[in-house]
Amino acid sequence: MTHELSNFCGVLLAGGQSRRMGGGDKCLRPLGGRPLLARIIERARPQVGPLVINANGDPTRFEAFELPVVPDSIGGFAGPLAGVLTGMEWAREHAPDCPWIVTFAGDAPFFPQDLVARLAQAREHEGADIVCAASGGRDHPVFALWPVALADSLRAAMEAGVRKVDVFTADHRFARVDWPVEPYDPFFNANRPDDWAEAERLFGSEAVEGAEPRAAQPGGKA
């Protein structure tokens, strides 16, 4: 089954405060000689149509990536749901031909190259509204497919105080797609300083789908 890339707007979630990494933009830290976000964009871009960065603060720090940068439309660093809502509302205004958004975490550079295809397939097969990735018995709602049609519902929920993803998804038809965690978890994220060494180890590993050999690492901007 094929899916039109133009139906899916990719939303790169980079709006967090990165407290466990000491603050700042961990997605701009280098991995294999290039910004982590550049690695993520390379994996996301072939899977979607429009692509947008959800990030708060000065947008000029993302200029090198040549993508739209949109801050949370709900204030107060309200978590991943704020990024989802922002992506939905941006797509509704700027990409009206995209009935769905797909969210990608800004700190997980090894996600599957068939992520969007498998999420979309599960949505069709199971008649779901929302489909998220899972691995190792854990859901990864930051890697999920969301219908833009739920934007008003999500805004109302967030304005009523909802912040937890599972509280919102409980009111909608929900499905998950599982990925194996061997030889590595494709949703591994560099969330703490100790994780960075593991990310560097995985980067360039022959086990990682689509990874570059270390000898071929490029430099420069995205």
In a domain, 218, yes or no: no
Sequence ranges of the binding site? 13-15, 26, 54, 72, 107
Q: What is the pLDDT of residues 92-135, one digit of tens each?
A: 999 999 999 999 999 999 999 999 999 999 999 999 999 999 99
Sequence ranges of the binding site for GTP? 13-15, 26, 54, 72, 107
In a domain, 220, yes or no: no
In 11-160, which residue ranges form alpha helices assigned H by DSSP?
Answer: 36-44, 80-94, 115-126, 151-159
Q: What is the pLDDT of residue 205?
A: 74
Where the chain has pLDDT below 50, the residues are 1-2, 18-22, 213-222
| Count of domains forming the chain | 1
In a domain, 222, yes or no: no
Sequence ranges of the binding site for Mg(2+)? 107
User: Which residue range forms the structural domain that includes residue 188?
Assistant: 5-213
Q: What is the pLDDT of residue 206?
A: 66
Which residues, other chains included, contact 42 with Cβ-Cβ below 8 Å and sequence gap of 6+?
A: 222
In a domain, 157, yes or no: yes
183 preceded by cis ω (within 30°)?
yes
Strand, helix or coil at 42?
helix
Q: What is the pLDDT of residue 220?
A: 38
Q: What is the pLDDT of residue 222?
A: 36
Q: What is the pLDDT of residue 18?
A: 43
CATH, residue 46: 3.90.550.10
In a domain, 219, yes or no: no
